[in-house]
Amino acid sequence: MGLSARLVIDRDALARNFQALRKLAGGAETGASIKADAYGLGASALAPRLAREGCRTFFVATPDEGAELRRALGGGEADIWVLNGYDPAARQLYVDQRLGAVLNQARELADFAQGPTGPCALHLDTGMNRRGLPARDAQALIAAPGVLDNLDLRIVMSHLACAEDPAHAMNAAQRTHFMALADRLRPARLSLANTGGVMLGADYHFDLVRPGIGLYGASASLDVPHPFEAVVRLEAPVLQVRAVSSGESVGYGASFTAPRDMLTATAAVGYGDGLPRALSGKGFARIGQARAPLLGRVSMDLVVLDVTDCEAELRAGAPAVFLGADLTETARLADTLPYELLTGLSARPARVYEGAL
């Protein structure tokens, strides 16, 4: 492996996760959220495989992401929607790259209507108070004759705030609010469900679901089991193995003191690669099938692991592996979410893709 970590991304697992989500979604179309460079994993390397699996609708955050995705798809007929809204300064980019604008406020509707236009979606705020047309504005829009007549309105959507918690009352409240507004905007298709919404069941699926984190092998919830396969693993070569005697310390700040004689391994990965410093003293790696606890602090380029029980795997040259099937547990230990772990991976680890494009 040389002297640096690498990020191994399994496109076959991604494809199986897409098909699992498609099955859960029943009669609704299954799209894909591929914003933030496919959650840090490489949109141009993953989107073509999703298209091969039958994905026809993609969601990005910005028009630049949309243009890059269109190129990765070789043009094609896929629908690409820009979630962050409509930027009149990028008007020609929307037109040239056939990007759909998700309109979030009255100002964007007015700008978009100036043309030349393409397809648009309308985002209704149903209680998250982040983006989307507030209820009073949506009601005024619905009541105003002719305002939407000249727009190619394809989708009416909203976003669930608490889908990771199936028992949260906010889910049903948002669905009720969404239906009360959106049904008056038919024949546009309706979309409410992210990955968590897909798992809430058919009442939340409507016409189109737009999962993100489930594609990449995790769930928004750290406590609810999910059916998704690991897509990414961070592999780090072991640079040095040493015997540490009882009473000796390890790493910056001498924050770990060996309670017994131990065998340790220094692996080439750290927060410079996106492994959070919050894992100091509580994270772990896999070496072979053995679990190797992280000792002391995560530094920029290196971590030290307890490999006392991993001698056979070390002799075989096994790397230290982070994330993978342990992505959710790692997020819990770092007091964060899988989303942040994935999007926080730096550009330093080389991306290695397994499975067909």
Would you please indicate which residues are annotated as catalytic (active-site) residues? Answer: 35, 252
Helix (H, G, I), strand (E, B) or coil at 144: coil
CB atoms within 10 A of CB 77: 8
How far does CA 328 lie from the centroid of its chain?
A: 13
Q: Is-cis flag, bond preceding 187, omega within 30?
A: yes
Three-state secondary structure string covering 190-201:
EECCCHHHHHHC
From CA 7, how far away is CA 299, in angstroms rounded?
Answer: 18
Helix (H, G, I), strand (E, B) or coil at 58: strand
Packing angle, helices 43-52 and 63-72, rounded to 10:
60
Helices (H) and strands (E) counted in the chain, each on its own, are: 12, 20
Helix (H, G, I), strand (E, B) or coil at 103: strand
CB-CB contact of 352 with 11 (8 Å): no
